[in-house]
Structure 1
């Protein structure tokens, strides 16, 4: 049903299957920006001078049911309480929430606000449907995403297999 609504929105707002902006649902699980953040990587470099940590090599960041993978992730800590304030993932990023996934060249996550901004050749997959854009802003508080910059979608209607044949 959600795919149908997305297709109607794009068809009517853009006169076709491309647009400059699209609002879509993202994530099938409720994100918890207050949940602990777990990071695994091949290497870690910590800078006491500027208050950040840089993880490199097959980095996997987990928070609740959400997973982010990238070659490099920079963690910026809050100066006052030492909690994770922001994360910057670069080098080809994959974000997975439930059955949905997004890929981009870069992702910036503001942990306090629960907003992730993905930029550079963004690809969002929702089942068989796919959307591409230049930029996607994911709001983890309400499981929505806003895609901007030459948004294009491929929508599959009905059963695309031959399973219904007798």
Structure 2
């Protein structure tokens, strides 16, 4: 149970960034973490490229997204959005205007919430299915002194169900180190 909460909590931070930072309107809870839709979002990168004909926006170079207690860092973030048609399109000041389909992050992905950290090589968040995936040669999840290592983390944000898979070759097993909490601390 604690492992599932750890996995889901870490991923909720990334999902929070995906839903809030990209102006997708949502309210509710993911695995006990409340979305911070009312908090300001700060996105910084070395470069932003908008490819309106392809319905994507690409942030590259030292990408940093901050909302409340959640921080997402990566080398690149690609936002895929639905293109608005007609009069609706002319009223949009930002690409996608809240119609985000999917977000992809690459290049040493780092997600930090108030108490947890997740790292990997790549991450995706599908807005329609609310499924977050973090992959890499080593996906590491930490909370305090507790550490879980695998190669693919999949979280269904609606249910909070989380699955961490091994790497499939060599010593491709999921590894976990749990440190018992000391009484009175």
Q: TM-score, normalised by structure 1?
A: 0.70
Gap change, CA 1:103 and 1:34, over 3 Å in 2:
closer
Aligned to 1:41: 45
1:79 matched to 2:94? The reply is no
Q: TM-score, normalised by structure 2?
A: 0.64
Aligned to 2:153: 136
Which structure has more RCO (C-alpha within 8 Å, separation ≥ 6)?
A: 1
Aligned to 1:153: 176
Alignment length (residue pairs): 142
1:52 matched to 2:56? The reply is yes
1:91 matched to 2:91? The reply is no
Gap change, CA 1:154 and 1:106, over 3 Å in 2:
same
Which is richer in strand?
A: 1
1:154 Cα shift? Answer: 1.0
Which is richer in helix?
A: 2
Aligned to 2:141: 124
1:100 to 104, 116, 132: 116
After superposition, the C-alpha distances for 1:103-142 in whole angstroms (9 at most, x for unaligned) are: 0000011123322101111000022100000100123334
Q: Which consecutive unaligned segments of at least 5 residues does structure 1 have? A: 7-22
Cα RMSD of the aligned pairs, angstroms, is 2.9
Aligned to 1:68: 72
Gap change, CA 1:69 and 1:63, over 3 Å in 2:
same
CA distance in 2 between counterparts of 1:108 and 1:78 reads 17
Q: Is the 8 A contact 2:21 2:65 kept in 1?
A: no
Q: Which consecutive unaligned segments of at least 5 residues does structure 2 have? A: 23-40, 86-95, 167-172
